[in-house]
Structure 1
């Protein structure tokens, strides 16, 4: 495993997934607050992702949202969201859906909420782990909810009951269902 600090706003870890044998790169991101530094971050990450054909995972606090639905009682600046969305589109990264909570950051005594923390993955990584979900856990020490990336492929064993389409054609099926 190779650890490399690339920039003051992110750390890169390269290696192979145990049991998968596939080259992967994880980037832990802490998004800057100023517009100039945000644009530098997007350009640096875009260049990095474009140079290497690997399974990418970018995670952390991006300090940015996609659209106004990812904020509550906070300022939303469309221009900044467009920069973030353009970065994701250019790198062809996928924002892994989140369960557990709607927002990842809370402030001002529970008045303001934002979804700043996330996992962005490449298609190559998605091909290996195709049933991923981000879970927001309980918040204890920080104003951010910790998030984890989880493979949701769970085998619960055989299905206990089966329904056949023909059953819906039987007389009285509609009454039974309603």
Structure 2
């Protein structure tokens, strides 16, 4: 299962629809959670969701924006995720359903959190209440409009109260903040020398970790938004067997670094890049065994 989350900052423009469609096609996305669609009633009816999806097998639901602020859209592949019901709020949209091949119910929470700390706190309390009332594999995705630590912000004010409230929500709900590869920060504003924050993330429950232990999250390049798309993959890429095991204790042996450096320097090989590297690693293994 591949899942996309993106604060798109307005989806009623053709180039942004094509951007979302390309991401969904390239990464074989089954569920897309879009925040800040900025769609009211009229524009919602006029928007062709098909422009945002890679094939004709999809369903979607949305929460309208208030003026030009907010708005949520969740799109899913009908052949992979069968929707049963949903819960809507101004700041989150929960979709319940069944994933083909998995018997446990899955809850997808598309989040666009408010700015005010007091409203954030009430949002976390409401989400915690809903989660505790229903057994499912819970996946929270979106723009949480808050950071967890001071080092997740650059050139902008760190609010300790909001961070503590958010961390309390994560701990009380027993959620896991999946480590993110790619870009360290997901939001960029160029004013005042450039402001960077990690506002977007995936949070998952224990049941998710048991079912998908090899999951990974990657922040992709920003193109048409000030937020990075973030991608959740539940399966590990298979690159074949590892060349050899490496134990950290080896680095404590006298002369070990010299052996590695010398082997790396004196190797001579040929062929294309992957074959050359594989041969070089085999040579290194042989030298280490000596």
CA RMSD, 1 decimal: 2.1
Structure 2 Cα separation of the partners of residues 6 and 15 of structure 1 = 15
Tell me which residue corresponds to 2:271: none
Whether 1:117 aligns to 2:197 is no
Greater RCO structure (CA 8 Å; 6+ sep)? 1
Structure 1 unaligned segments of length 5 or more: list them. none
Q: TM-score, normalised by structure 1?
A: 0.88
* CA gap 1:64/1:157 in 2 versus in 1, 3 angstroms: same
Misfit runs of 4+, over 3 Å:
161-165, 172-175
Instruction: Kindly state the Cα deviation for residue 80 of structure 1 after the two structures are TM-superposed.
Output: 1.0
Whether 1:146 aligns to 2:229 is yes
Structure 2 Cα separation of the partners of residues 173 and 152 of structure 1 = 39
Tell me which residue corresponds to 1:55: 137
Tell me which residue corresponds to 1:39: 121
Equivalenced residue count is 172
Structure 2 unaligned segments of length 5 or more: list them. 1-82, 262-290
Check conservation: 1:24, 1:125, Cα contact below 8 A. Answer: no
Tell me which protein shows more helix as a share of its residues: 2
Tell me which residue corresponds to 1:71: 153
Whether 1:158 aligns to 2:232 is no
Whether 1:90 aligns to 2:178 is no
Larger Rg: 2
Instruction: Kindly state the Cα deviation for residue 17 of structure 1 after the two structures are TM-superposed.
Output: 1.6
Instruction: Classify the secondary structure of the residue corresponding to 1:155.
Output: coil
Tell me which protein shows more strand as a share of its residues: 1
Whether 1:176 aligns to 2:259 is yes
